[in-house]
Structure 1
Amino acid sequence: MLRLRWLGLLCGFALVGATQANDAEQIVRQALLSIQPDLPIEKITVSPMPNLYQIELKGGRLLYASADGEFLLQGNLFQIQNGQATNLTEQVEQLAIAKQINSIPLDEMVVFAAQNTKTHVTVFTDTDCGYCQKLHSEVAELNKLGVDVRYLAFPRQGVGSHGYETLTSIWCADDRLDAMDQAKARRSVPKKTCKNPIDKQYALGQTVGVQGTPTIILANGQIIPGYQPAQQLAAQALKAQP
Protein backbone atom coordinates (compact mmCIF):
# COMPACT_ATOMS: atom_id res chain seq x y z
CA MET A 1 0.00 0.00 0.00
CA LEU A 2 2.90 2.28 0.80
CA ARG A 3 4.34 1.70 -2.67
CA LEU A 4 1.08 2.70 -4.28
CA ARG A 5 0.96 5.89 -2.24
CA TRP A 6 4.51 6.80 -3.33
CA LEU A 7 3.62 5.98 -6.93
CA GLY A 8 0.62 8.29 -6.69
CA LEU A 9 2.81 11.07 -5.32
CA LEU A 10 5.36 10.65 -8.11
CA CYS A 11 2.64 10.75 -10.76
CA GLY A 12 1.27 13.87 -9.13
CA PHE A 13 4.66 15.59 -9.23
CA ALA A 14 5.09 14.62 -12.89
CA LEU A 15 1.68 16.08 -13.71
CA VAL A 16 2.51 19.32 -11.92
CA GLY A 17 5.84 19.52 -13.76
CA ALA A 18 4.17 18.96 -17.11
CA THR A 19 1.51 21.57 -16.33
CA GLN A 20 4.14 24.10 -15.30
CA ALA A 21 6.10 23.41 -18.52
CA ASN A 22 2.97 23.87 -20.63
CA ASP A 23 2.15 27.12 -18.80
CA ALA A 24 5.68 28.43 -19.38
CA GLU A 25 5.52 27.53 -23.08
CA GLN A 26 2.28 29.49 -23.43
CA ILE A 27 3.75 32.46 -21.55
CA VAL A 28 6.85 32.47 -23.77
CA ARG A 29 4.73 32.14 -26.93
CA GLN A 30 2.46 35.03 -25.93
CA ALA A 31 5.44 37.23 -25.04
CA LEU A 32 7.08 36.63 -28.42
CA LEU A 33 3.91 37.14 -30.42
CA SER A 34 3.22 40.37 -28.54
CA ILE A 35 6.37 41.90 -30.06
CA GLN A 36 6.11 40.16 -33.47
CA PRO A 37 2.67 38.71 -34.25
CA ASP A 38 3.87 36.99 -37.44
CA LEU A 39 6.88 35.28 -35.82
CA PRO A 40 6.94 31.79 -37.44
CA ILE A 41 7.14 29.66 -34.27
CA GLU A 42 7.33 25.94 -34.97
CA LYS A 43 7.55 24.76 -31.36
CA ILE A 44 8.70 25.73 -27.88
CA THR A 45 10.45 23.23 -25.62
CA VAL A 46 12.60 23.16 -22.51
CA SER A 47 16.22 23.65 -23.54
CA PRO A 48 19.11 21.54 -22.21
CA MET A 49 19.98 24.47 -19.94
CA PRO A 50 17.77 24.64 -16.82
CA ASN A 51 15.13 27.39 -16.72
CA LEU A 52 15.68 28.27 -20.38
CA TYR A 53 13.17 27.62 -23.16
CA GLN A 54 14.11 26.86 -26.75
CA ILE A 55 12.03 28.40 -29.55
CA GLU A 56 12.32 26.72 -32.94
CA LEU A 57 11.36 29.00 -35.82
CA LYS A 58 10.32 28.01 -39.31
CA GLY A 59 13.49 27.44 -41.28
CA GLY A 60 15.36 25.93 -38.35
CA ARG A 61 16.66 28.98 -36.52
CA LEU A 62 16.52 29.11 -32.71
CA LEU A 63 15.79 31.65 -30.01
CA TYR A 64 15.92 31.18 -26.24
CA ALA A 65 13.73 32.74 -23.57
CA SER A 66 13.28 32.74 -19.81
CA ALA A 67 10.25 30.89 -18.44
CA ASP A 68 8.46 34.16 -17.69
CA GLY A 69 9.03 35.47 -21.24
CA GLU A 70 10.82 38.56 -19.92
CA PHE A 71 14.27 37.76 -21.33
CA LEU A 72 15.08 36.72 -24.90
CA LEU A 73 18.40 35.44 -26.25
CA GLN A 74 19.64 34.97 -29.79
CA GLY A 75 22.90 33.12 -30.20
CA ASN A 76 24.61 29.79 -29.70
CA LEU A 77 24.17 27.61 -26.63
CA PHE A 78 27.24 25.52 -25.84
CA GLN A 79 27.54 22.56 -23.49
CA ILE A 80 30.94 21.94 -21.93
CA GLN A 81 31.75 18.37 -20.94
CA ASN A 82 35.16 16.82 -20.29
CA GLY A 83 36.89 19.93 -21.56
CA GLN A 84 35.00 19.88 -24.88
CA ALA A 85 32.45 22.45 -26.04
CA THR A 86 29.47 21.25 -28.11
CA ASN A 87 27.34 23.77 -29.99
CA LEU A 88 23.82 22.58 -29.13
CA THR A 89 22.16 25.35 -31.12
CA GLU A 90 23.98 24.40 -34.28
CA GLN A 91 23.03 20.74 -33.84
CA VAL A 92 19.30 21.50 -33.62
CA GLU A 93 19.38 24.04 -36.45
CA GLN A 94 21.22 21.66 -38.77
CA LEU A 95 18.74 18.86 -38.12
CA ALA A 96 15.81 21.16 -38.92
CA ILE A 97 17.45 22.49 -42.10
CA ALA A 98 18.41 18.98 -43.27
CA LYS A 99 14.83 17.81 -42.76
CA GLN A 100 13.45 20.65 -44.88
CA ILE A 101 16.03 20.47 -47.67
CA ASN A 102 16.04 16.68 -47.93
CA SER A 103 12.24 16.60 -48.15
CA ILE A 104 12.21 18.61 -51.39
CA PRO A 105 11.28 16.38 -54.35
CA LEU A 106 14.20 15.85 -56.73
CA ASP A 107 12.03 16.79 -59.70
CA GLU A 108 11.83 20.32 -58.27
CA MET A 109 15.63 20.63 -58.41
CA VAL A 110 18.22 20.63 -61.16
CA VAL A 111 20.31 17.60 -60.25
CA PHE A 112 23.76 16.74 -61.60
CA ALA A 113 24.05 13.17 -60.35
CA ALA A 114 27.24 11.21 -59.78
CA GLN A 115 27.63 7.82 -61.42
CA ASN A 116 28.45 6.31 -58.01
CA THR A 117 26.61 8.52 -55.51
CA LYS A 118 28.04 8.63 -51.99
CA THR A 119 26.42 11.84 -50.78
CA HIS A 120 24.96 15.11 -52.04
CA VAL A 121 25.19 18.86 -51.67
CA THR A 122 22.29 21.23 -52.25
CA VAL A 123 23.24 24.61 -53.70
CA PHE A 124 21.15 27.77 -53.69
CA THR A 125 22.31 29.35 -56.95
CA ASP A 126 21.95 32.42 -59.15
CA THR A 127 23.15 32.15 -62.74
CA ASP A 128 24.47 35.75 -62.71
CA CYS A 129 26.80 34.99 -59.78
CA GLY A 130 30.51 34.65 -60.67
CA TYR A 131 31.32 32.22 -57.88
CA CYS A 132 28.25 30.16 -58.80
CA GLN A 133 29.69 29.87 -62.29
CA LYS A 134 33.07 28.86 -60.86
CA LEU A 135 31.46 26.20 -58.66
CA HIS A 136 29.49 24.89 -61.62
CA SER A 137 32.70 24.47 -63.63
CA GLU A 138 33.75 21.92 -60.96
CA VAL A 139 30.49 19.94 -60.87
CA ALA A 140 31.97 17.18 -63.03
CA GLU A 141 34.84 16.81 -60.56
CA LEU A 142 32.40 16.65 -57.63
CA ASN A 143 30.42 13.97 -59.48
CA LYS A 144 33.61 11.92 -60.00
CA LEU A 145 34.17 12.08 -56.25
CA GLY A 146 30.68 10.66 -55.62
CA VAL A 147 28.87 13.91 -54.81
CA ASP A 148 25.50 14.74 -56.38
CA VAL A 149 25.05 18.47 -56.94
CA ARG A 150 21.42 19.52 -56.47
CA TYR A 151 20.49 23.07 -57.41
CA LEU A 152 17.78 25.25 -55.88
CA ALA A 153 16.98 28.69 -57.29
CA PHE A 154 17.90 31.84 -55.40
CA PRO A 155 17.70 34.96 -57.61
CA ARG A 156 19.71 37.45 -55.57
CA GLN A 157 17.98 40.49 -57.05
CA GLY A 158 14.56 39.10 -56.26
CA VAL A 159 11.42 38.21 -58.17
CA GLY A 160 11.28 39.72 -61.67
CA SER A 161 15.05 40.27 -61.95
CA HIS A 162 17.19 39.07 -64.87
CA GLY A 163 18.45 36.21 -62.73
CA TYR A 164 14.89 35.26 -61.82
CA GLU A 165 13.88 35.13 -65.49
CA THR A 166 16.93 33.02 -66.40
CA LEU A 167 16.30 30.58 -63.57
CA THR A 168 12.66 30.31 -64.64
CA SER A 169 13.78 29.48 -68.18
CA ILE A 170 16.13 26.79 -66.86
CA TRP A 171 13.48 25.13 -64.72
CA CYS A 172 11.04 25.25 -67.64
CA ALA A 173 13.53 23.94 -70.23
CA ASP A 174 13.10 20.55 -71.85
CA ASP A 175 16.69 19.76 -70.76
CA ARG A 176 17.35 21.48 -67.44
CA LEU A 177 20.93 20.24 -67.21
CA ASP A 178 21.90 21.65 -70.58
CA ALA A 179 20.09 24.92 -69.85
CA MET A 180 21.99 25.26 -66.56
CA ASP A 181 25.28 24.51 -68.32
CA GLN A 182 24.56 27.20 -70.91
CA ALA A 183 23.54 29.80 -68.33
CA LYS A 184 26.57 29.13 -66.12
CA ALA A 185 28.80 29.51 -69.20
CA ARG A 186 27.24 32.96 -69.71
CA ARG A 187 25.37 31.89 -72.82
CA SER A 188 21.77 32.86 -73.43
CA VAL A 189 19.00 30.42 -72.55
CA PRO A 190 15.78 30.38 -74.62
CA LYS A 191 13.13 32.21 -72.62
CA LYS A 192 10.44 29.93 -71.27
CA THR A 193 7.74 30.10 -68.63
CA CYS A 194 5.78 27.36 -66.89
CA LYS A 195 4.57 26.36 -63.47
CA ASN A 196 7.76 26.21 -61.41
CA PRO A 197 9.12 26.25 -57.82
CA ILE A 198 11.37 29.33 -58.17
CA ASP A 199 9.35 31.57 -55.83
CA LYS A 200 9.03 28.78 -53.27
CA GLN A 201 12.76 28.03 -53.34
CA TYR A 202 13.67 31.70 -53.08
CA ALA A 203 11.41 32.04 -50.02
CA LEU A 204 12.90 28.89 -48.49
CA GLY A 205 16.40 30.26 -48.94
CA GLN A 206 15.46 33.44 -47.09
CA THR A 207 13.88 31.38 -44.32
CA VAL A 208 16.94 29.20 -43.71
CA GLY A 209 19.25 32.23 -43.76
CA VAL A 210 20.71 32.33 -47.27
CA GLN A 211 22.34 35.74 -47.72
CA GLY A 212 24.29 35.22 -50.91
CA THR A 213 25.12 32.70 -53.60
CA PRO A 214 26.31 30.09 -53.82
CA THR A 215 25.08 28.84 -50.47
CA ILE A 216 25.85 25.15 -50.06
CA ILE A 217 23.99 22.84 -47.71
CA LEU A 218 25.47 19.47 -46.83
CA ALA A 219 23.35 16.36 -46.29
CA ASN A 220 23.39 16.90 -42.50
CA GLY A 221 22.08 20.46 -42.78
CA GLN A 222 25.42 22.23 -42.32
CA ILE A 223 25.49 25.50 -44.26
CA ILE A 224 28.60 26.56 -46.16
CA PRO A 225 28.23 30.21 -47.23
CA GLY A 226 30.11 30.68 -50.48
CA TYR A 227 32.30 28.86 -52.96
CA GLN A 228 34.73 26.12 -51.99
CA PRO A 229 37.07 24.17 -54.32
CA ALA A 230 35.75 20.76 -55.36
CA GLN A 231 38.26 18.67 -53.42
CA GLN A 232 37.68 20.62 -50.20
CA LEU A 233 33.90 20.62 -50.62
CA ALA A 234 33.77 16.91 -51.41
CA ALA A 235 35.83 16.08 -48.30
CA GLN A 236 33.34 17.96 -46.10
CA ALA A 237 30.33 16.53 -47.92
CA LEU A 238 31.53 12.95 -47.52
CA LYS A 239 31.95 13.46 -43.77
CA ALA A 240 28.48 14.96 -43.33
CA GLN A 241 25.94 12.34 -42.32
CA PRO A 242 22.22 13.19 -42.23
Structure 2
Amino acid sequence: MTHTRLPTAAWTRRLALGALGAAALTASAHANEALIRKNLADRLPNLPRIEEVRPTPMPGLFEIRLNGTDILYTDAEGNYLIQGVLIDTKARVNLTEERLDKLTAVAFDELPLKDALTVVRGNGQRKLAVFADPNCGFCKRFERDLAKLDNVTIYTFLYPVLGKDSHTKSRAIWCAKDRAKTWNDWMVRGVPPTEPAADAKCDTAALERNLALGQKYRITGTPTTILANGTRLPGAVGLDRLEALLAQAGTGK
Protein backbone atom coordinates (compact mmCIF):
# COMPACT_ATOMS: atom_id res chain seq x y z
CA MET A 1 0.00 0.00 0.00
CA THR A 2 1.35 3.44 -0.89
CA HIS A 3 0.80 6.66 1.02
CA THR A 4 0.91 10.16 -0.34
CA ARG A 5 3.34 12.30 1.62
CA LEU A 6 2.39 15.94 1.99
CA PRO A 7 5.15 18.50 1.86
CA THR A 8 6.06 19.75 5.31
CA ALA A 9 4.74 23.26 4.64
CA ALA A 10 1.42 21.97 3.31
CA TRP A 11 1.01 19.66 6.28
CA THR A 12 1.76 22.51 8.67
CA ARG A 13 -0.86 24.68 6.96
CA ARG A 14 -3.43 21.90 7.22
CA LEU A 15 -2.79 21.50 10.94
CA ALA A 16 -3.02 25.25 11.43
CA LEU A 17 -6.33 25.44 9.53
CA GLY A 18 -7.69 22.54 11.57
CA ALA A 19 -6.73 24.26 14.80
CA LEU A 20 -8.30 27.51 13.63
CA GLY A 21 -11.48 25.69 12.67
CA ALA A 22 -11.71 24.01 16.07
CA ALA A 23 -11.07 27.32 17.83
CA ALA A 24 -13.78 29.00 15.75
CA LEU A 25 -16.29 26.26 16.64
CA THR A 26 -15.42 26.58 20.32
CA ALA A 27 -15.79 30.37 20.21
CA SER A 28 -19.12 30.03 18.41
CA ALA A 29 -20.39 27.54 21.00
CA HIS A 30 -19.41 29.87 23.84
CA ALA A 31 -21.14 32.78 22.10
CA ASN A 32 -24.30 30.72 21.64
CA GLU A 33 -24.24 29.66 25.28
CA ALA A 34 -23.86 33.24 26.51
CA LEU A 35 -26.70 34.46 24.29
CA ILE A 36 -28.99 31.60 25.29
CA ARG A 37 -28.37 32.17 28.97
CA LYS A 38 -28.93 35.94 28.67
CA ASN A 39 -32.09 35.76 26.57
CA LEU A 40 -33.77 33.04 28.61
CA ALA A 41 -32.91 34.74 31.90
CA ASP A 42 -34.27 38.08 30.62
CA ARG A 43 -37.43 36.65 29.06
CA LEU A 44 -38.23 33.90 31.57
CA PRO A 45 -37.20 35.23 35.01
CA ASN A 46 -38.99 32.35 36.77
CA LEU A 47 -37.01 29.72 34.88
CA PRO A 48 -34.67 27.83 37.27
CA ARG A 49 -30.99 28.59 36.98
CA ILE A 50 -29.47 27.10 33.84
CA GLU A 51 -26.73 24.73 34.95
CA GLU A 52 -25.43 23.70 31.54
CA VAL A 53 -25.82 24.56 27.85
CA ARG A 54 -24.52 22.18 25.22
CA PRO A 55 -25.07 21.59 21.51
CA THR A 56 -26.99 18.49 20.44
CA PRO A 57 -26.26 16.37 17.36
CA MET A 58 -29.08 18.24 15.61
CA PRO A 59 -27.65 21.40 13.96
CA GLY A 60 -28.87 24.59 15.62
CA LEU A 61 -30.47 22.81 18.58
CA PHE A 62 -29.05 23.17 22.08
CA GLU A 63 -29.73 21.28 25.28
CA ILE A 64 -30.18 23.24 28.49
CA ARG A 65 -30.01 21.47 31.85
CA LEU A 66 -31.87 22.64 34.95
CA ASN A 67 -32.37 21.30 38.47
CA GLY A 68 -29.62 18.75 38.06
CA THR A 69 -31.33 16.45 35.56
CA ASP A 70 -34.17 18.40 33.90
CA ILE A 71 -33.57 18.79 30.16
CA LEU A 72 -35.09 21.30 27.74
CA TYR A 73 -34.08 22.29 24.21
CA THR A 74 -33.68 25.67 22.54
CA ASP A 75 -32.37 27.31 19.37
CA ALA A 76 -29.05 29.15 19.11
CA GLU A 77 -30.54 32.42 20.40
CA GLY A 78 -32.95 31.17 23.04
CA ASN A 79 -35.95 32.37 21.05
CA TYR A 80 -37.81 29.08 21.48
CA LEU A 81 -37.99 26.55 24.29
CA ILE A 82 -38.87 22.92 23.61
CA GLN A 83 -39.92 20.32 26.16
CA GLY A 84 -39.86 16.78 24.85
CA VAL A 85 -37.78 13.89 23.59
CA LEU A 86 -35.04 14.09 20.98
CA ILE A 87 -34.73 10.94 18.86
CA ASP A 88 -32.05 10.09 16.34
CA THR A 89 -34.19 8.34 13.71
CA LYS A 90 -31.20 7.13 11.70
CA ALA A 91 -29.53 5.43 14.65
CA ARG A 92 -32.91 4.71 16.30
CA VAL A 93 -31.67 6.12 19.59
CA ASN A 94 -33.61 8.15 22.14
CA LEU A 95 -30.96 10.80 22.77
CA THR A 96 -32.88 12.38 25.65
CA GLU A 97 -33.19 9.08 27.48
CA GLU A 98 -29.55 8.27 26.79
CA ARG A 99 -28.50 11.62 28.24
CA LEU A 100 -30.70 11.18 31.32
CA ASP A 101 -29.20 7.75 31.92
CA LYS A 102 -25.75 9.34 32.03
CA LEU A 103 -26.88 12.17 34.29
CA THR A 104 -28.55 9.79 36.72
CA ALA A 105 -25.94 7.03 36.57
CA VAL A 106 -25.46 5.42 39.97
CA ALA A 107 -22.00 4.65 41.31
CA PHE A 108 -22.68 1.49 43.28
CA ASP A 109 -19.81 2.03 45.71
CA GLU A 110 -21.28 5.43 46.61
CA LEU A 111 -24.68 4.07 47.66
CA PRO A 112 -25.37 4.54 51.41
CA LEU A 113 -25.66 0.81 52.10
CA LYS A 114 -26.17 1.41 55.82
CA ASP A 115 -29.67 2.62 54.90
CA ALA A 116 -30.59 -0.68 53.22
CA LEU A 117 -31.70 -4.13 54.38
CA THR A 118 -28.90 -6.60 53.67
CA VAL A 119 -29.20 -10.27 52.71
CA VAL A 120 -26.11 -12.39 51.94
CA ARG A 121 -26.33 -15.81 50.31
CA GLY A 122 -23.45 -18.15 49.56
CA ASN A 123 -20.20 -16.26 49.03
CA GLY A 124 -22.11 -12.98 48.50
CA GLN A 125 -19.75 -11.91 45.71
CA ARG A 126 -22.41 -10.76 43.27
CA LYS A 127 -24.03 -7.53 44.43
CA LEU A 128 -27.19 -5.64 43.61
CA ALA A 129 -29.30 -2.93 45.21
CA VAL A 130 -33.07 -2.77 44.88
CA PHE A 131 -35.39 0.16 45.54
CA ALA A 132 -38.70 -1.38 46.57
CA ASP A 133 -42.05 -0.39 48.06
CA PRO A 134 -43.68 -2.90 50.44
CA ASN A 135 -47.05 -2.46 48.73
CA CYS A 136 -45.69 -2.94 45.21
CA GLY A 137 -47.03 -6.10 43.56
CA PHE A 138 -44.19 -6.25 41.05
CA CYS A 139 -41.72 -5.95 43.94
CA LYS A 140 -43.29 -8.99 45.59
CA ARG A 141 -43.00 -10.99 42.39
CA PHE A 142 -39.40 -9.85 41.97
CA GLU A 143 -38.61 -10.78 45.58
CA ARG A 144 -39.63 -14.37 44.85
CA ASP A 145 -37.13 -14.46 41.99
CA LEU A 146 -34.42 -12.85 44.11
CA ALA A 147 -34.91 -15.63 46.66
CA LYS A 148 -33.66 -18.10 44.01
CA LEU A 149 -30.31 -16.32 43.56
CA ASP A 150 -27.19 -17.73 45.20
CA ASN A 151 -23.74 -16.26 45.87
CA VAL A 152 -25.25 -12.81 46.07
CA THR A 153 -25.54 -9.82 48.39
CA ILE A 154 -28.83 -7.95 48.06
CA TYR A 155 -29.25 -4.46 49.47
CA THR A 156 -32.91 -3.43 49.64
CA PHE A 157 -33.66 0.26 50.00
CA LEU A 158 -37.16 0.68 51.42
CA TYR A 159 -38.72 3.22 49.08
CA PRO A 160 -42.28 3.99 50.25
CA VAL A 161 -43.74 5.92 47.33
CA LEU A 162 -47.17 4.29 46.98
CA GLY A 163 -48.93 6.06 49.83
CA LYS A 164 -49.21 6.43 53.58
CA ASP A 165 -49.56 2.71 54.25
CA SER A 166 -46.31 2.06 52.39
CA HIS A 167 -44.54 4.37 54.80
CA THR A 168 -46.25 2.70 57.77
CA LYS A 169 -45.15 -0.77 56.63
CA SER A 170 -41.64 0.46 55.82
CA ARG A 171 -41.33 1.91 59.31
CA ALA A 172 -42.51 -1.37 60.87
CA ILE A 173 -40.00 -3.36 58.79
CA TRP A 174 -37.12 -0.99 59.51
CA CYS A 175 -37.86 -1.01 63.24
CA ALA A 176 -38.14 -4.82 63.42
CA LYS A 177 -35.55 -6.82 65.33
CA ASP A 178 -34.76 -8.86 62.21
CA ARG A 179 -35.37 -6.49 59.32
CA ALA A 180 -34.48 -8.86 56.49
CA LYS A 181 -36.69 -11.67 57.84
CA THR A 182 -39.61 -9.30 58.46
CA TRP A 183 -39.28 -7.97 54.91
CA ASN A 184 -39.15 -11.46 53.43
CA ASP A 185 -42.08 -12.65 55.56
CA TRP A 186 -44.23 -9.83 54.24
CA MET A 187 -43.12 -9.78 50.61
CA VAL A 188 -43.00 -13.55 50.02
CA ARG A 189 -45.31 -15.07 52.65
CA GLY A 190 -47.80 -12.24 53.17
CA VAL A 191 -47.16 -11.99 56.93
CA PRO A 192 -47.82 -8.32 57.87
CA PRO A 193 -45.04 -6.58 59.83
CA THR A 194 -45.85 -5.70 63.42
CA GLU A 195 -46.00 -1.97 63.99
CA PRO A 196 -43.61 -0.76 66.69
CA ALA A 197 -45.03 0.48 69.95
CA ALA A 198 -45.77 4.18 70.13
CA ASP A 199 -42.95 4.71 72.64
CA ALA A 200 -40.48 2.47 70.80
CA LYS A 201 -37.14 4.08 70.06
CA CYS A 202 -36.44 3.62 66.36
CA ASP A 203 -34.61 6.02 64.06
CA THR A 204 -36.46 6.02 60.73
CA ALA A 205 -34.45 8.83 59.17
CA ALA A 206 -33.07 6.27 56.70
CA LEU A 207 -36.49 6.10 55.04
CA GLU A 208 -36.45 9.82 54.34
CA ARG A 209 -32.88 9.56 53.07
CA ASN A 210 -33.95 6.75 50.75
CA LEU A 211 -36.72 8.90 49.31
CA ALA A 212 -34.28 11.76 48.75
CA LEU A 213 -31.78 9.37 47.16
CA GLY A 214 -34.41 7.98 44.81
CA GLN A 215 -35.47 11.46 43.77
CA LYS A 216 -31.85 12.39 43.14
CA TYR A 217 -31.45 9.46 40.77
CA ARG A 218 -34.92 9.91 39.24
CA ILE A 219 -36.18 6.55 40.43
CA THR A 220 -39.85 6.84 39.58
CA GLY A 221 -40.97 3.22 39.77
CA THR A 222 -40.46 0.12 41.86
CA PRO A 223 -38.72 -2.19 41.78
CA THR A 224 -35.61 -0.50 40.37
CA THR A 225 -32.40 -2.50 40.54
CA ILE A 226 -28.83 -1.21 40.45
CA LEU A 227 -26.08 -3.69 39.55
CA ALA A 228 -22.48 -3.52 40.72
CA ASN A 229 -21.35 -1.89 37.46
CA GLY A 230 -23.99 0.86 37.78
CA THR A 231 -26.46 -0.67 35.32
CA ARG A 232 -30.02 0.35 36.18
CA LEU A 233 -32.87 -2.12 35.65
CA PRO A 234 -36.42 -0.78 35.92
CA GLY A 235 -39.20 -3.22 36.74
CA ALA A 236 -39.35 -6.87 37.77
CA VAL A 237 -36.61 -8.37 35.60
CA GLY A 238 -36.98 -12.10 34.86
CA LEU A 239 -34.63 -14.46 36.68
CA ASP A 240 -32.83 -15.71 33.52
CA ARG A 241 -32.14 -12.17 32.32
CA LEU A 242 -31.07 -11.07 35.80
CA GLU A 243 -28.58 -13.97 36.02
CA ALA A 244 -27.09 -12.96 32.66
CA LEU A 245 -26.84 -9.29 33.64
CA LEU A 246 -25.26 -10.17 36.99
CA ALA A 247 -22.61 -12.15 35.12
CA GLN A 248 -21.89 -9.14 32.91
CA ALA A 249 -21.79 -6.76 35.87
CA GLY A 250 -19.31 -8.83 37.85
CA THR A 251 -18.57 -7.79 41.41
CA GLY A 252 -17.98 -4.14 40.59
CA LYS A 253 -14.34 -4.31 41.69
Task: State if a TM-score over 0.5 links the two structures.
Answer: yes
Could you tell me which amino acid in structure 2 is paired with residue 52 of structure 1? Answer: L
Larger radius of gyration: 2
Once the two structures are superposed, the pairs formed by residues 151-230 of structure 1 within 5 Å of their partners are 151-158=156-163, 161-184=164-187, 185-191=190-196, 193-206=202-215, 208-218=217-227, 219-224=229-234, 226-230=235-239
| Residues 110/45 of structure 1: CA separation in 2 closer, same or farther (3 Å cut) | farther
| Residues 53/107 of structure 1: CA separation in 2 closer, same or farther (3 Å cut) | same
Partner of 1:139 in structure 2? 146
CA distance in 1 between counterparts of 2:97 and 2:115 reads: 27
CA distance in 1 between counterparts of 2:67 and 2:122 reads: 35
Alignment equivalent of 1:22, drawn from 14, 33, 37: 33
Pairwise CA distance, 1:23: 0.5
* TM-score normalised to structure 1 length: 0.71
| Residues 208/74 of structure 1: CA separation in 2 closer, same or farther (3 Å cut) | farther
Helix, strand or coil at the partner of 2:85: coil
Equivalent pairs counted in the alignment come to: 229
Could you tell me which amino acid in structure 2 is paired with residue 71 of structure 1? Answer: L
Return 5+ residue gaps in structure 1 as ranges: none
Helix, strand or coil at the partner of 1:231: helix
Q: For residues 59-83 of structure 1, what are the alpha-carbon distances to aligned partners after superposition, in whole Å with 9 as ceiling and x for unaligned?
A: 6453322222213142143273xxx
* TM-score normalised to structure 2 length: 0.69
Identity among equivalent positions (%) equals 25
CA distance in 2 between counterparts of 1:102 and 1:217 reads: 11
Q: CA contact under 8 A between 1:94 and 1:220: conserved in structure 2?
A: no
Helix, strand or coil at the partner of 2:140: helix
Q: For residues 14-58 of structure 1, what are the alpha-carbon distances to aligned partners after superposition, in whole Å with 9 as ceiling and x for unaligned?
A: 673354043045247637964544x7x553322233322223455
Pairwise CA distance, 1:139: 2.0
Q: CA contact under 8 A between 2:173 and 2:193: conserved in structure 1?
A: no
Partner of 1:72 in structure 2? 82
Q: For residues 175-203 of structure 1, what are the alpha-carbon distances to aligned partners after superposition, in whole Å with 9 as ceiling and x for unaligned?
A: 33223223324332352531522123224
Alignment equivalent of 2:56, drawn from 47, 58, 68: 47
Partner of 1:106 in structure 2? 113
Q: CA contact under 8 A between 1:43 and 1:55: conserved in structure 2?
A: yes
Pairwise CA distance, 1:208: 4.3
Pairwise CA distance, 1:112: 2.7
Partner of 2:7 in structure 1? none
| Residues 172/196 of structure 1: CA separation in 2 closer, same or farther (3 Å cut) | farther
Pairwise CA distance, 1:152: 2.0
Q: For residues 159-189 of structure 1, what are the alpha-carbon distances to aligned partners after superposition, in whole Å with 9 as ceiling and x for unaligned?
A: xx22212212333445332232233243323
| Residues 25/220 of structure 1: CA separation in 2 closer, same or farther (3 Å cut) | farther
Could you tell me which amino acid in structure 2 is paired with residue 163 of structure 1? Answer: S
| Residues 137/198 of structure 1: CA separation in 2 closer, same or farther (3 Å cut) | same
